[in-house]
Amino acid sequence: MHTQSKETQNQLTPDQAFQILKDGNTRFVNNLKANRNLLQQMNETKEGQYPFATILSCMDSRTSAELIFDQGLGDIFSIRIAGNVLNEDILGSMEFGTKVVGSKIILVLGHTRCGAITGACNHVEMGYLTGLLEKIKPAIEHETQTTENRTGSNQSFVANVTENNVHLALERIRKESPIIAELEQEGKIKVIGGIYDVESGVVSFFEK
């Protein structure tokens, strides 16, 4: 598997970039790996990088985007934070990844059994974590299906909040970053969401 170069990155369409992620996840689920020489990729990227994707995911130890999508050095920008929450710094990183470096797709990736989502559902307060979990509250408020046991012990409730959290992040990206919104409207990038199942390894995608 070759490292992304400026030429290969430029030739990729957003749909092709999306397909690369899908194919990589299929390999992961089937315990297959593309043939890569990581030392060679390190040497090939020492003068520059041309990732085809920018991925916001959780810091959860089970959700490494490089592994889930079977990618190597120089393939993706990986932004990781508990609860895959969004802030101005992350938006700026996404703008850098797309507008400046040229990646063709932004993926916001939530995951099942997320500790941050569960903590937010349980109204956990602890140091700086309190402020982080506050960013998940809008996703809780948007969950109107559950009328009883709206806590982290209700797996269905947590799953709904997890998905809401991704959808709201996608809305905010488009609303708060005119740069990304313009790139998407011009067809230069795709902005998508997904949920990674920590039990099966499968990523379920949803688009705009």
Q: According to the annotation, is 121 in a ligand binding site?
A: no
Residue 140: inside a domain: no
Does 153 reside within a domain?
Answer: no
Q: Is 58 annotated as a binding residue?
A: yes
- How far apart CA 1 and CA 34 sit, in angstroms, is 6
Residue 122 belongs to some domain of the structure? no
CA distance 201 to 30: 9
- For residue 23, say whether it is annotated as part of any ligand binding site: no
Amino acid at 1: M
Report yes or no: 75 and 86 within 8 Å, Cβ to Cβ: no
CA count, 13 A, side-chain hemisphere, 37: 5
How far is residue 140's CA from residue 120's CA, in Å, rounded to a whole number? 8
Q: Is residue 138 part of a domain?
A: no
In a domain, 49, yes or no: yes
**Nearby residues of 161 by Cβ (< 8 Å), 6 or more positions away:** 117, 120, 121, 136, 139, 140, 143
DSSP category for residue 131 = H
- 190: domain range? 6-114+165-206
* Beta carbons of 187 and 198 less than 8 angstroms apart: no
pLDDT per residue as tens, the chain (208 positions): 677 778 888 899 999 999 999 999 999 999 988 877 777 767 766 767 889 999 999 999 999 999 999 998 889 999 999 999 999 999 999 999 999 999 999 999 999 999 999 999 999 999 999 999 999 999 999 999 999 999 999 999 999 999 999 999 999 999 999 999 999 999 999 999 999 999 999 999 996 5
DSSP-assigned beta bridge partners for residue 192: 107
Domain-located, residue 172: yes
The CA distance from 48 to 57, in Å, is 24
Query: What pLDDT does residue 208 have?
Result: 58
Q: Give residue 207's pLDDT.
A: 67
Q: H or E segment at 55?
A: strand 53-57
Split into its structural domains, the chain has a count of 1
Residue in 77, 65, 74, 2 with CA at minimum distance from that of residue 34: 2
Is 111 annotated as belonging to a binding site? yes
Instruction: Say what the pTM is.
Output: 0.93
Name the CA dihedral angle for 122, 116, 176, 90, rounded to a multiple of 10 degrees.
Answer: 150
Q: Quick one: pLDDT at residue 10?
A: 84
The CATH number of residue 39's host domain is 3.40.1050.10
